[in-house]
Amino acid sequence: MLIPQYSPIGMTEKAVAGLVLHYGEGGASALPNETAWLGHSSVSGVQVPPVHVYVSQSSLQTMRKVYAPLGNNVHVEPFLLSESELDAEAFQAMMAVGSSDSAPLYVQTIRSILRDLGENFTYAAFQRELKVHKEGFNPAQLAGLKQRLALLEAFLDLKQHSSKKRFAQGQLTIVDLSDPFVDPAAACDLFQIVIRMFIRADVGTGKVLVVDEAHKYLSAHKGQSGLTKSLLTLIRQQRHMAMRVIISTQEPTVVPPVLLDLCGVAILHRFSSPSWWEHLAKHVSAQLSEDAFDQVVKLRVQE
């Protein structure tokens, strides 16, 4: 899909724009996302796509070393949101502003400020309003507010650096939030924002979204998170958006069942767990015989 005019892997007349969401172990033991190898090839005649990897600012130097072996076609940059990208919807995701009536006072105050600002929302305007309202907060509420604002500002481009287009035809964009200071919940909030940016991007071609290592941040036991809801909406409308969604996981039982129910194609690689088979069989629209699992585990490579 990203490598055009190369018959051994299929002919693509028009390359798509690709986005990969990745979250894994951070620090010195981190590994590059495997899709980044698309930007490195020793085969003659192959036009490899440019690869742009966005990582958290706090792990920038470490992640540049992690991706360095892949060559100069793989560019590692900090993932920072410009003020124009930080709309009210993105802001609510980062601040974990839900609709619960039992939300802390600071969350209810944030919702009230956002309603008052409406379409005139900017981060600067929000800060001005918040400065007035937070005078009545107690220490615990202030601590919760500061924690969420600190996470937000860690990914906010306060210096307004000029940014290139994040998405383009024939380009692979990887958002790799492997960082010991980014937890799965924060990664989900950021991925939700990135997906919305990808949907809105005008690239003049089709799009493909890869949710990589989904078991590390999506969970079937935490209800429908904002990210899960975003993926559900996207998958249901993907034909209208000229987009395809691929979800990769090493533990299918932790992926929300609602996502498995919408799966059009399931590819099982080195699959030998009876419990996984039973779990997937409940969500796959196919007639499966009693000995189907026995047949699967006996398959040889490429069968």
* Per-residue pLDDT at 193 exceeds 80: yes
Per-residue model confidence (pLDDT) at position 236: 92
69/113 same-domain check: no
Distance CA 137, CA 115 (A): 20
Residue where a domain terminates, one of 154, 179, 198: 154
Distance CA 189, CA 291 (A): 42
Q: What percent of the chain has pLDDT over 90?
A: 31
252/117 same-domain check: no
Give the residue with greater pLDDT, 164 vs 163: 164
Per-residue model confidence (pLDDT) at position 5: 67
CB atoms within 10 A of CB 294: 11
Q: How confident is the model at residue 246 (pLDDT cuts 50, 70, 90)?
A: very high
272/219 same-domain check: no
pLDDT tens figures, 47-81: 788 999 999 999 999 999 999 999 899 999 999 99
- How many domains is the chain built from? 3
Distance CA 162, CA 84 (A): 12
pLDDT tens figures, 78-113: 999 988 888 888 888 887 766 555 667 778 888 889
Distance CA 79, CA 177 (A): 9
- String of DSSP letters for 6-39: -GGG---SS--EEEEEE----STT----GGGGGG
The angle formed by the CA atoms of residues 152, 148 and 26, to the nearest 5 degrees, is 65
* Per-residue pLDDT at 175 exceeds 80: yes
* Per-residue pLDDT at 40 exceeds 90: no
What are residue 74's DSSP bridge partners? 51
DSSP, collapsed to helix, strand or coil, labels residue 252 as helix
Query: Is residue 1 a part of any domain in this protein?
Result: no
Residue where a domain terminates, one of 154, 179, 199: 154
Residue where a domain terminates, one of 135, 154, 173: 154
Task: Identify the domain containing residue 231 by its residue range.
Answer: 7-80+163-265
Q: How confident is the model at residue 43 (pLDDT cuts 50, 70, 90)?
A: confident
